[in-house]
Structure 1
Amino acid sequence: MKRLLVPLIISASPTAAFSEGASYICLTELSTGFKIDASGKRWESVNFHASSRFLVRPLRLDEYGYNSTSGVEAYGVFEFGTKYAAAQCRQGFSYYLDGKLQTSNWLYCDGFNSFKLNSDTLRFIATYTVGFTNSHPGSEQKDGDTPSISIGSCSKM
């Protein structure tokens, strides 16, 4: 009987059932940021059409950011239709505290985008910070990256 109770206790604990191995589909609801004006010399604030969709899933062995030695399941944030992760979440839903592996409801991800997901609220925030820092003040920039911040909600698959 003792052998049956251990798996039941582990699966019933709130940290064990958190999100391990789960995948999420996340839809952007609002997006705002900055873009270069028509002259190419001045930045202005702008609201963007919120159309980004993300797949957040565990990374496979052959994908960048996967680390089999950490003891943590790494995740990737993929924009729909892309092959490579826009952000990697190397710690997954886990972290180390005093040398012991702990679980969390937060996923922290970095790369071209910064992406944070709370698996309890199923809300996310994503930032894209490239663009403004790449241009020199007063210089002309015809096209360029547009820094943005986006929020939205996710569904667990």
Structure 2
Amino acid sequence: MAMSDVLDEGPFFHGTIADLRVGDFLAPGYRSNYRPEVVMNHIYFTALVDGAGLAAEIAAELAGGDAIPRVYAVEPTGPFENDPNVTDKKFPGNPTRSYRSSAPLKIVGEVKDWTRLTPEALEMWRERLATLQSDRRAEIIN
């Protein structure tokens, strides 16, 4: 898919538990938040700040302990495409405004104003993640 097929020009966001600074880079090559046995070939990001917040919350939940969910404003440093894990595979088009790149993302700021999950929503995601991790049919397109 060419960048011309991408629906957004930014700003873009990435959710994580990593403690980063402006100017740092996020790169592929780390374990998936959803399937820890999979090392990712891409770095994922979204044009929805609360979507990045959800990813950060999930990363913190899976890390356990005192992991702090963080959302960063990011800039792609290379070509990117619609995330095939959600685009058309699960939802027509790209309503989640999710993207991926094999090039690093540059941190341009930290976002403090994003919607945190309620305890009830966090419990729902715990259940979904447990189901996802036990269902080998829920493959990640890597």
With the shorter chain as reference, the TM-score category is: under 0.3
TM-score, scaled to structure 1: 0.23
Larger Rg: 1
- Determine which structure has the larger helix proportion and give its number: 2
The structure with the greater share of residues assigned to strand is 1
Higher relative contact order (CA 8 A, sep 6+): 2
